[in-house]
Amino acid sequence: MTQNTAVSDNPPRSTLLHEAREIGFTLVVALIAAMLLRILLFQPFTIPSSSMEPGLVTGDYIVVSQYAYGWSTASLPCNPPILPGRLFGREPRRGDVVVFRLPRDPKQVWIKRVIGLPGDTVQVRGGVVFVNGAAVPQTRLGFVRDHDAPRRRVQEVRETLADGRTYVTYDGGPNLPGDDAPARRIPRGRYLMMGDNRDNSLDGRWPAETGVGLLPAENIVGRAEIVAASWKPGAGLFKPWTWLNLQWDRFLIPIR
């Protein structure tokens, strides 16, 4: 006598629930890992303006080191007011390109270069930056077209810091707003930031009500490390037809 055993094509309900729980658990772990990676190590940002030209241009997709200067609430999503100060805080170097939360509106994330450290006295005269009475040496280079505004003619100027680090700035001409700024002594826990596109940057040369003022250390998010990729103006995440509108010469560029 032969006994036929029926085999069901549908797995038991308990098996489906078990697999659903495993998938859900895996997704939760992945999300937590991604969030921790974003908070503790690296975070991506997109450059929305021209204030750091020529080194950074609109559409650059950059990677920021979250651990370079330690952590503060500025490193967290939504900047929750949990604890003051910085955990394992380390001081930025003069010349570092830093991402930070704007003091007057912490929802805004800006990027500038560190020019003045705590204890420094910084002044700008005729477009030349003076730190503790000494001018930051400038080398006048050629005239070029502004990357983001080709009708604008600017001069490239190389600045060289005392430790030998160099970077290139844009000069839009003489006697422009920001070419002269009074001497300011930087107090403890504050930094003076400036954009490389000197005549197209609201920064530490202006008071906090209109520019950056003196940046508190706890507002720092991290150090800009590399341009991973760059999209042309008008491209966007929700415009799939623009995803390949890349600036192909701006891949994996170290930020100096």
- Provide the whole-model pTM: 0.82
pLDDT tens digits for range 127-136:
999 999 999 9
* Known active-site residue 51: yes
Within the chain, residue ranges assigned H as helices are: 13-40
* Known active-site residue 232: no
* Exposure string over 189-212, b if 16+ CB within 10 A, otherwise e: ebbbbbbbbbbbbbbbbeeeeebb
The catalytically annotated residue of 50, 51, 72, 230 is 51
Reported confidence tier of residue 67, pLDDT bands at 50, 70, 90: confident
Where in the chain are the domains?
43-254
Is the domain spanning 43-254 CATH 1.10.1240.10? The answer is: no
Q: Residues 42-49: what's their mean pLDDT? A: 88
pLDDT tens digits for range 145-185:
999 999 999 999 999 999 999 999 999 999 999 999 999 99
Residue pair 182/206 in contact by the 8 Å Cβ criterion: no
Residue pair 177/211 in contact by the 8 Å Cβ criterion: no
The catalytically annotated residue of 50, 72, 75, 112 is 112
> How many CA atoms lie within 13 Å of 251's alpha carbon, on the beta-carbon side?
4
